[in-house]
Chains A and B, each alone.
Chain A
C-alpha cells in the first residue's frame, strides 16, 4: 500500500512538473513576455541533457564528470552543419552541411554515441575517483581541441545565423522552438522510464548496488555500464544540438568542466535516479540563476548553499523531498 501511494504521489508530482513547464511559456506568450519562453526552453534542454547523465549517474552510479564533451559535441554538430549549409562549402564526401534538424539530430546523437563508446570503453576500466578524473580528462581534451581549432571559431565560438529548420515548424518563433524541445524532452524521459524498468535497467541498477553480485549471476558489469554510458552520451549530445540552436551560438564553454559540473548539480538538486529529477533540478537551477542572478553576481554562492543543504539534509533532492524515497519493487 505504502509503496503504491508513493508511486502515485511521484507520478502526480511528475505530471505537475511537466504541466508547469508547459504552462509557463504559454502564459509568457499570452502576456507578451517571450523572455520567459526562452527560460523555459533552457530548462527543457538542460533537463534533457541531465536526463541523459541521469541514466549513467542515477541508474548506473557512474559519476561522469565529462558529459560536457557530449553536450558540446552535439552543439558543434549543429553549428558546423549549419555553417556549411549556409556557406555551401563541402564538409565531407561532398556533403555540404544542412540546416535541417532532422538530419542534425541523428548526426549529433550518433557522433556523441561513438565518442561516448571510446571514452567509456577506457574510463569504465576504472571506478570511483579515478573514473571521475578520467572522464574529466577526456572532456578537457575535447575542450582544448575546440579552443585551438580555428576553423570553427576556436575560443570565440561559432554563430548559427538562422536557427535550423524543422519541417512544418517556424523554429524562429520562440514558442515553436520551445515545443520542439519540450516534445524531445518528454520522449527522452519516456525512454529513460522504459529503460529503467527493463531487464537492462534492472541489471544496470544492480550494477550500481553491487557489482560483485551482478558478476556472480553471470552478467558482465562492464558491458552493462558501457551500454548505459553510450545511451547516456547520445541523449546529452542531442540536448547539446538543441542548446546550440536555442542560443544560435556554440562555443567551447559548452564543453568546459563547468558544464559537466552543472549537469551533476542539476541531478543532485532534483533527485538522483528519479524520472523527473533532472527537470526539477533544471527548473530550480534556472529559476535561481534568473531570480538571484538579477540581484547579485554571486548567485552561485547561494546555489552552493542550497546544494550543501540538499546533500546534508535532503539526499533525495527535490523529488525525494516531495515524493518520498524511491522504491525499487
Chain B
C-alpha cells in the first residue's frame, strides 16, 4: 500500500444534506488500471472533482506522488503529474489538435512565460507534439481545429494532452462515452498499453471495457465504496450484483 501513486482516505463531501462522498478510501498502484464504477448519481463525478481540485473535500486526505495534495489547486495538481480527461471533451476549440498538444508540452516544460519566440516556428515544440499525436493516431488531423474534430477524435486528443504532460497517473472520466463499438475497441487496446506508462483511474460505464481492462474495480454507490476487488471478486459479490450489475454479470 505504501507505494501507491494516489491514495485517498476517508474522503467526505456534503452538499447540504446530501452525502455526495461518504468516507471514500481508494488507492491507485503503479502499473494498474483501477476502474471506478457505480450507477448514475453515485458520486463518481464529485469524487473526480475532488481528486482534480475543482472541488475541495470537507474532510479526509488525498495523497499523490508522496505528497498531500488536498489543499492544492487544479493547475498545481496537474503540474505534479495528475493527467485527466473529461466526461465531456474540454479543449481549446479554436486551436488545432497540434496546438492543443503543444500547449500541454509547453505547460509541462513550465515555459508559458516566454513572450517572443513564435510557437509555430518552434521545431522542438512541434515535433514533440507531433510524436504524441502519432501515438494516439491523430497525426493526419493535426492541423484541424479541435472544434471540427469528431467526438472520438476529441477523446483521443484529450488523451494526447494527458500524455504530453508525462503524467504520473491518469484520471480518465468515461473515455468510452459515445464512442461506438469500433472506437471503444481500439481505445480499449490503447489504454491497455497505457497502464505501463502510468496507472489509470478509470471511471467508466462500458462494462465490456471495464472487465477487459481493470486490474481492480471499486464500486461506488450513494457516495460509498461498497466493494473493491478483482474483476472476478466484483462479478461474484452479491452486494454489487443487487446494487448495480444486475443482469450484466
Flag A213-229 by CB within 8 Å of B: 1 or 0 each: 11111111100100100
Count of chain A residues near B, Cβ 8 A = 28
A-side contacts of B93, CB under 8 Å: 209-210
The stretch from B33-41, B104-112, B219-227, B234-242 touching chain A is: B104-112
Flag A288-329 by CB within 8 Å of B: 1 or 0 each: 000000000000000000000000000000000000000011
With the chains together, A329 CA to B114 CA distance in Å? Answer: 19
B-side contacts of A216, CB under 8 Å: 52, 74-75, 78, 84, 90, 161
The secondary-structure label for the interface of chain A is helix
With the chains together, A203 CA to B93 CA distance in Å? Answer: 13
B176 within 8 A of A: no
Q: Is the CB of A218 within 8 A of B119?
A: no
In the complex, what's the smallest C-beta–C-beta distance from A94 to chain B, in angstroms?
A: 36
Q: Is the CB of A227 within 8 A of B91?
A: no
Q: Is the CB of A219 within 8 A of B92?
A: no
A-side contacts of B118, CB under 8 Å: 194, 197-198
With the chains together, A210 CA to B146 CA distance in Å? Answer: 12
Q: Is the CB of B92 within 8 A of A224?
A: no
Q: Who on chain B is nearest to A207 by CB? A: B92
A212 within 8 A of B: yes
B115 within 8 A of A: yes
* With A205-B92, A205-B94, A328-B99 as contacts: A217 and B104 at CB distance below 8 Å: yes
Q: Is the CB of B99 within 8 A of A210?
A: no
B15 within 8 A of A: no
Flag B119-134 by CB within 8 Å of A: 1 or 0 each: 1101001000000000
Q: Who on chain A is nearest to B118 by CB? A: A197
Q: Is the CB of B165 within 8 A of A218?
A: yes
Q: Is the CB of B112 within 8 A of A210?
A: no
In the complex, which of the residues A198, A203, A224 contacts B116, with contact meaning CB atoms closer than 8 Å? A198
Q: Who on chain B is nearest to A193 by CB? A: B118
Q: Is the CB of A220 within 8 A of B117?
A: no
Q: Who on chain B is nearest to A221 by CB? A: B75
With the chains together, A217 CA to B161 CA distance in Å? Answer: 8
In the complex, which of the residues B76, B114, B165 contacts A200, with contact meaning CB atoms closer than 8 Å? B114
A195 within 8 A of B: yes
A259 within 8 A of B: no
Q: Is the CB of A215 within 8 A of B74?
A: yes
Chain A CB within 10 Å, residue with most, of B86, B108, B116: B116
Interface residues on B, range: 35 or more
B-side contacts of A328, CB under 8 Å: 94-96, 99, 145
With the chains together, A201 CA to B118 CA distance in Å? Answer: 9
In the complex, what's the smallest C-beta–C-beta distance from A307 to chain B, in angstroms?
A: 24
With the chains together, A195 CA to B74 CA distance in Å? Answer: 26
A-side contacts of B56, CB under 8 Å: none
B29 within 8 A of A: no
Q: Who on chain A is nearest to B122 by CB? A: A199
Which residues of chain A from 1 to 44 have any CB-CB distance to chain B below 8 Å in the complex? 3
Flag A179-196 by CB within 8 Å of B: 1 or 0 each: 000000000000000110
Flag A223-252 by CB within 8 Å of B: 1 or 0 each: 010010000000000000000000000000
Q: Is the CB of A213 within 8 A of B106?
A: no
In the complex, which of the residues A197, A203, A215 contacts B78, with contact meaning CB atoms closer than 8 Å? A215
In the complex, which of the residues B79, B86, B103, B113 contacts A206, with contact meaning CB atoms closer than 8 Å? B103
In the complex, what's the smallest C-beta–C-beta distance from B73 to chain A, in angstroms?
A: 7
B-side contacts of A214, CB under 8 Å: 75, 92, 103
In the complex, what's the smallest C-beta–C-beta distance from B53 to chain A, in angstroms?
A: 8
A-side contacts of B73, CB under 8 Å: 215, 220
A202 within 8 A of B: yes
With the chains together, A41 CA to B187 CA distance in Å? Answer: 59
B159 within 8 A of A: no
In the complex, what's the smallest C-beta–C-beta distance from B163 to chain A, in angstroms?
A: 11
Q: Is the CB of A198 within 8 A of B92?
A: no
Q: Is the CB of B115 within 8 A of A198?
A: yes
With the chains together, A198 CA to B98 CA distance in Å? Answer: 15
Q: Is the CB of B90 within 8 A of A202?
A: no
Question: Can you offer 28 A-B residue contacts whose CB atoms are under 8 A?
Answer: A197-B118, A197-B120, A199-B111, A199-B113, A199-B119, A199-B122, A200-B115, A201-B119, A202-B103, A203-B106, A205-B94, A209-B92, A209-B93, A209-B94, A210-B93, A212-B74, A212-B90, A214-B92, A215-B78, A216-B74, A216-B90, A217-B108, A217-B161, A217-B165, A218-B75, A220-B73, A328-B94, A328-B95
Q: Which B residues have a C-beta under 8 Å from some C-beta of A? A: 52, 54, 73-76, 78-79, 84, 86, 90-96, 98-100, 102-104, 106-108, 111-120, 122, 125, 143, 145, 161, 164-165
- Known: A202-B119, A206-B92; 17 extra A-B contacts, CB below 8 A, are A198-B117, A198-B118, A199-B114, A199-B119, A201-B115, A202-B95, A202-B99, A209-B95, A210-B90, A212-B54, A212-B74, A213-B90, A214-B103, A218-B79, A218-B165, A219-B107, A220-B76
Q: Which 8 A-B pairs have the closest CB atoms?
A: A218-B78, A197-B118, A217-B107, A215-B74, A218-B79, A206-B92, A203-B112, A209-B92
